[in-house]
Amino acid sequence: MAVQTSSTEKDPGRWARKYPELGQEPLPVSPYIDPEYYEKEKAKIFKKEWLYVALEREVPSPGSYKVRRIDAADTSIIIMRGKDNVIRAFHNACSHRGNTVVTEKGQETYGKNRAGVVTCRFHGWVYDAKGGLVSVPQEDRFYSCFDKKDNGLTEVHCDTWAGFIFVNVDPNPVKPLNEFLGGYADHFGGFDYDTCDHGFTYHTTLDCNWKVASDAFAEAYHVDTIHAGSFPNVFEGAIEDVELFGAHRTCSVRLQVENLPQTPIGDLANERSRGSLAAVGGASTLPPTLNPNRDEDWGFELSVLFPSVLLHVSEGIWFTHQFWPIAHDKTLWEGKYYLKKPRTHSELWGFERAMVLQRNAWLEDTATMEDTYRAMLSGAKKYQHLQDEEILIRHNCKVVDDYVDS
C-alpha cells in the first residue's frame, strides 16, 4: 500500500498553487441569495447548457418514456425511445393550446405505450416517438392554415454518454455534448455504470439556493463533524487528486484505513457485500483513470458534473446527488445510489445495511442546508471564507460567475 500523509500534515495551499486562477480571497454571499442573479443563472446556464435528465435504461424499449420537470428551464421534457431505437427529447407541450401532453406525477414521470405514441389528455392529440403529430380529433373543423406536419412536438437537443441521457433546451445550435464534457468524459467514461442495476433513491425539497445544497456535498472538510454519527473516523478531511475539466471538477476521498470502525454487524455486512463506502474496496471495476495507483486507502471519486450533478464512483458502487433549482430559494435534492444486483439474501442484507448508513449520512448533510441559507439571508456576513480543501466550491463560484457575466 502506498504511504499517504494524514489530513493534518497536508501541504497548506497546495490546491491554490495548482490553480492560481481561482484566487484565495473571500467570496461574496450575494450570488446565493440574490433573485436577479438566479434569473441570470436560469437564462445563461440551465437554458443554455447540457443537463443530465435520465439513464438510457430508464427508457429500455420502444415506446417507453420518461418525463423530467426542469423548473430552472421553465419546462418539462419528454424523453422517449422510438421504434427505431433512437432516444429523442421534446418539450412536454401540446401544439394545440399548450397543455402538457404527458401529465406529470411529480418531478419524474415514467410510462410506456406499445404503439410508441403519447396522447394529450385535454383534447386527444396524438404524437409519435419522433415528435410527429399523427392524429387530431375533428381535424376537419380546423381552418385551412392548419397542417399536422407543421405542428409536431418541439424537439430539444438530446445526446447520450456512458448510458446517461442529456438534453439542452437552447433552440439554437449548441456545442456537442462531447465538447461540453471534455476531459470529464475520458476520466469517468471507462466505468461500467450499467452493471450496477440495483439501487435506491431519496429526495426532498429544501428551502435554500441550489449552490448552497451543492456546496455541502463538494468537500470532505465537514466529515469529522457532520458525519461523526454515521461515519466516525472513516474518511480523511483532506481531498486528493483534484482535477478541473473546464466547468467540471473531480477529486478523490481517502479512507482512514488504520481507524476504520470495527463492529460485529458492520464487519459481517462488509464480508457479505460491497455495499458501503465505509470499508476498503478493491479496484476490479475501476478504469485506469480512477485510483490509478491502486492505493488501498482510496475510498471514492467525488466529482461535480456542471452545473448541478455530483457523481461519485467507487468499487462496485456509483451514486449521484442532483440539485434541481425550483426558485432562487428552493431546491429539489435527489440522491440515487446504485450497486450490483444482490445474488443472495445475505448480499441483500448487506446492501440494506449500506442503504441505511447512506440514508443517515444524507440526512446529516441535508440538515445543514436550510440553516446555512437562512443565516446568509440575515446579511450578517457578506463573504464566505474557504480553506484550501474547499477548492471545488471555489471553482464552482468562478465558473458560475463566468457564465452569469458572459
Q: What is the crossing angle of helices 391-405 and 210-217, to 10°?
A: 150
Tell me which CATH homologous superfamily contains domain 7-33+185-405: Naphthalene 1,2-dioxygenase Alpha Subunit; Chain A, domain 1 (3.90.380.10)
* Cα Rg of the chain, angstroms: 23
Rounded Cα–Cα distance for residues 131 and 152 (Å): 5
Q: Rounded to an integer, what is the distance from CA 21 to the centroid of its chain?
A: 26
Rounded Cα–Cα distance for residues 215 and 20 (Å): 20
Taking 70 as the pLDDT cut, the residues of the chain under it are 1-10, 261
> Do 7-33+185-405 and 51-173 agree at the fold level?
no
Residue-level pLDDT at 9: 54
Question: Domain extents for the chain?
Answer: 7-33+185-405, 51-173
Rounded Cα–Cα distance for residues 257 and 234 (Å): 7
User: SS3 for 378?
Assistant: coil
What is the assigned CATH class of domain 51-173?
Answer: mainly beta
Classify burial at 206, counting beta carbons within 10 Å of its beta carbon; exposed 0-12, middle 13-18, buried 19 or more: buried
Q: Tell me 154's DSSP state.
A: -
pLDDT tens digits, 265-313: 777 777 777 777 777 888 888 999 999 999 999 999 999 999 999 999 9
> Which among 396, 159, 184, 196 has a CA at the least distance from the CA of 311?
184
Pairing of strands 309-314, 51-55: unpaired
Dihedral, CA atoms, 185, 187, 189, 192, nearest 10 degrees?
-150
> Which among 110, 107, 78 has a CA at the least distance from the CA of 94?
78
